Amino acid sequence: MRVLLVEDEQTLARAVRRGLDAEGMLTDVAATGPAGLELGLSGTYDVVILDIMLPGRNGYDVCRDLRAAGVWTPVLFLSAKDGEYDEVDAFDLGADDYLTKPFSFPVLVARLRALVRRGGIERPAVLRVGDLTLDPATREVRRGEVRISLSPREFGVLQHLMRHRGMVVSKLDILQSVWDLHHDGSDNLVEVYVGYLRRKIDAPFGRRSIETVRGAGYRLVGEER
């Protein structure tokens, strides 16, 4: 496994590198944002460990630029910033995992291995299905040039469907993703919100992009069917 570690704290960087080397991983270290971006753009790494507060260019910008360049190498943010909005920003910009300092080294290794097993799956910052776009960072949804106003739950359901575009997504999966992992309410709630979405993103535009797959769930498609 080849790892890119972008970290400006030299003592920490040396310690992590030694630990990863002991685990049989080949680790390159960059101490600035621009240096990390240059190495990351090579696309030769299995996973990137990225600090947020970096000289020259912060980790958010590095991750955004990697994704904009079509580099989908899994990125794990390793940062002392432990606010929930810091994590939200990281994931919205294309991160795959987030670990706060101080951290457990065995947990770091386990997460890196899990990310590599999962692979570099395309996760664009702005989701697109046909002429429908959704920006998780600005929470803006558009059909072509027309901006569409959605409630937080409607936005969550649509985002989940768009992240799994072309795939059948079950009602339970949507409930657990948008509401709560242990939500014990009726899955009819999903039907209600899918109905709301259809009235906002499809009906005014003569589209039928949210398909009902009987007995299985829903599928979002890019063209009218």
Please give the sequence-ordered ranges of beta strands (E in DSSP) within 103-224, or none if there are none.
Answer: 127-129, 132-135, 140-143, 146-148, 210-213, 217-220
Query: Average pLDDT, whole number, for the chain?
Result: 86
Could you give the angle at which helices 10-22 and 105-118 cross, rounded to 10 degrees?
A: 70
Res 181: pLDDT: 47
The residue among 198 and 182 whose pLDDT is bigger is: 198
**What does the pLDDT look like over 53-63, one tens digit per residue?**
999 999 999 99
Q: How far apart are CA 107 and CA 113, in angstroms?
A: 10
- Given a cut of 70, whether residue 207 has pLDDT beyond it is yes
**Residue 79's pLDDT band (cuts 50, 70, 90):** confident
> With contact defined as beta carbons under 8 Å apart, do 78 and 50 qualify?
yes
What domains are defined for the chain? Answer: 2-118 (3.40.50.2300), 127-220 (1.10.10.10)
Res 225: pLDDT: 45
Range scoring the smallest mean pLDDT among 15-19, 83-87, 158-162, 199-203: 83-87
> With contact defined as beta carbons under 8 Å apart, do 46 and 1 qualify?
yes
**Residue 116's pLDDT band (cuts 50, 70, 90):** confident
Range scoring the smallest mean pLDDT among 83-92, 93-102, 194-203, 207-216: 83-92
**Residue 153's pLDDT band (cuts 50, 70, 90):** confident
The residue among 176 and 7 whose pLDDT is bigger is: 7
Which residue, 143, 159, 171, is CA-closest to 151?
A: 159
**Residue 122's pLDDT band (cuts 50, 70, 90):** low
Q: Mean per-residue pLDDT for 31-57?
A: 92
